[in-house]
Amino acid sequence: MPVPRVRFCPAPSGWLHVGGARTALYNWLWARHTGGVFVFRIEDTDATRATPESMRGMIESMRFLGLDWDEGPEVSGPYGPYVQSERSDLYAAVSAKLLAAGAVYDAYETPEELEEQRQAQQRAGRPPGYAGGHRDLPDAQREAFLAEGRQPVLRVRTPDDGVVTVSDAVYGPVEFAWKDVADFVVERADRTHTYYLANAVDDLAMGINLVARGDELLSATPRQQLLYGLLLRDNLLDDALADNGYPARPPDAVPPSFAHLPLLVGEDRKPLSKCHGSVAVDEFRRQGYLPDVLVNVLALCGWSPGAAEERMTVDELVERFSLERVGRNPAYFDTAKLRAFNGDRIKELDDAELAERLQPYLNAAGLLPEVATPTQQRLLLGLAPLLRERIQTLAEAVPLVAFCFREVVELDAAAVAKHLKGRAGEVLDIAADRLAALGEWSGDAILGVFDGMAAELGLGRGKVMQPVRVAVAGTAVSPPLPQTLALLDRDVVVERVRAATARVAA
């Protein structure tokens, strides 16, 4: 049996959607489970949509998820290049050979004529598709079109009758009638090449033997199977590879089989989109979701581990994954589960790892420099255990601890109105004096000050602590106050408490 070779090949025209990430993940898991090869290929043949920024974003999102590739951009490999815009000479050579073999033909219709044809089909109640009008043009008509300045596209001749069967690991055998598969374009009028041709050429040239992708592409599979056959007939692709200096296909290469993965849907069971909230991997990263948790939840979107326990490590996912347990029904992307799993995972992190994972979020908020000082690192390490039970995403820690890293804090107006009134001025005056005179600067000692003040003034602990919290943090919410204050410089704490007395309502 040939070594499993799978691929993920996004078009770099935006961010990496979680649906695309799920497809990449399933391919990666299968490669790692079987000891196969995971190929990352960039399909940028549509130059009107592809951007370098999007390609960079795709790469960064894949690296964030931990989906390392064996061959592809920034890694290389024996069957590159792995960016399709760098392989245009090969596609052109293949197109020329297909034309010479009579497998494709020139079609000269203008976009307006094709639109008119589509509308006529719609009025007649027929499915849209190319009607084949230029399949067998006389030479004189071709010359007339060229004289008009028309530039042809290349279309593949699909069979007129019969059926094609797609053997799919998820759906089983699926039959399509050739009469329903219209002749399709493989080379545009500007001589660039479509997804169908570039994808089929690269799958065969790179030895891909399993294509796992979204089930919205199942209906396109007959076209690809037809192209696989045409490219392998009479060594057409092998000759094009050799003629253009590309490496020969793997010696055990076979045409790919397929596994079409279920659609990803939101809570309303409609295709996942921005109307459901975040759908980009990078957005979940910015919100503070851990990559292994996002991978865990995405793995469960369409695949069942066959066990009651759903929380799994990446190693466990690799060990258990199989295409046989991928379902056909649309898969719900459960953001509530993602949030719950993430909170559970944060609780499992030790102080040092949690501090390390929090630092980039404090960097992004301008609270820490790129390289934190030893003092800042110690402060963050001390805050970690105070945050662990209070956050479900890493980004949620930022507003809770921002005051710890700022030289000056601004007092929130709503917090001032609620907590800096009545006896708050008296509380702040006494707290400032007693904190300044406190012998041991520790959480327990600071809590003792607050409890002593509460008993002395006849107030609840909250009535003592909240004015101090607002004075020091600027808000009414923070990690446990005594332990947090103990991590800060005493002089800074006392100064903020004294300064806040001026804001107490009369």
User: Any idea which residues carry the catalytic annotation?
Assistant: 274
Tell me how crowded residue 1 is: count the other CB atoms within 10 A of its CB.
Answer: 7
Q: What is the rounded radius of gyration, in angstroms, for the C-alpha atoms of the chain? A: 31
Q: Is 165 exposed, middle or buried (0-12, 13-18, 19+ CB in 10 A)?
A: exposed
CA 429 centroid distance within chain = 52
The 10 Å CB-count burial string (b at 16+, else e) for 482-495 is bbbbbbbeeeebbe
Burial string for 425-445 (b: 16+ CB within 10 Å, else e) reads bebbebbbebbeeeeeeebee
115: how many CB neighbours lie within 10 A of its CB?
11
Strand partners, 339: none
SS3 content of the chain, % helix, strand, coil (to 5): 50, 10, 35
E strand spans, 41-171 = 104-107, 153-156, 163-168
Q: What angle do CA 252, 253, 258 make, to 5 degrees?
A: 130
The token duo for 15 is 């961010």
